Amino acid sequence: STVRPLRLGTVGQAIGISGIPGALDCRGKSDLFGKKLRVTRRALADQLATAGELLMGEADERIPLVVVRGLRIKGRGIPSPSVRPEECLYFSLLGKGLKRG
């Protein structure tokens, strides 16, 4: 599990993947209103981990794993969901703040 800035609660986070891309690149696709997406990359592995966490629980449920079957993936896969520091939304904001003062 992990936490997110300015959000209450934990969400799942993948610690490894096999047989699926870690993320999906949606840049260049159109949204519901026909506008091209310029930034969106979906964290597929983390989304699946979060869905599994709903079934596994976070306390004394004693459900060690969840098996996902029949998943159909559309789109361009990105093998690793990691990003370089200059691409990271949080890191780039922190860097700007550090430079100012």
**Strand-pair partners of 24:** 42, 77
- Asked whether residue 101 carries a pLDDT value surpassing 60, the answer given is no
Structure tokens at 96: 């700007």
CATH number at residue 54: 3.30.1330.100
- Which pLDDT score, from 0 to 100, does residue 75 have? 77
Tell me which residue range forms the domain holding 40: 2-100
Q: Looking at beta carbons, which pairs linking 78-86 to residues 24 or more positions away fall under 8 Å?
A: 78/21, 78/22, 78/23, 78/24, 78/25, 78/41, 79/21, 79/22, 80/22, 80/23, 81/14, 81/22, 81/23, 81/41, 81/43, 81/44, 81/45, 81/46
Span 68-86, pLDDT tens digits: 889 988 877 887 767 787 7
Q: How many independent structural domains does the chain possess?
A: 1
Task: Report how far apart, in Å, the C-alpha atoms of 60 and of each of 25, 54, 57, 64, 66 are.
Answer: 36, 13, 8, 10, 16
- Which pLDDT score, from 0 to 100, does residue 84 have? 80
Span 21-80, pLDDT tens digits: 999 999 999 999 999 999 898 999 999 999 999 999 988 999 998 998 899 888 778 877
Q: How confident is the model at residue 97 (pLDDT cuts 50, 70, 90)?
A: low
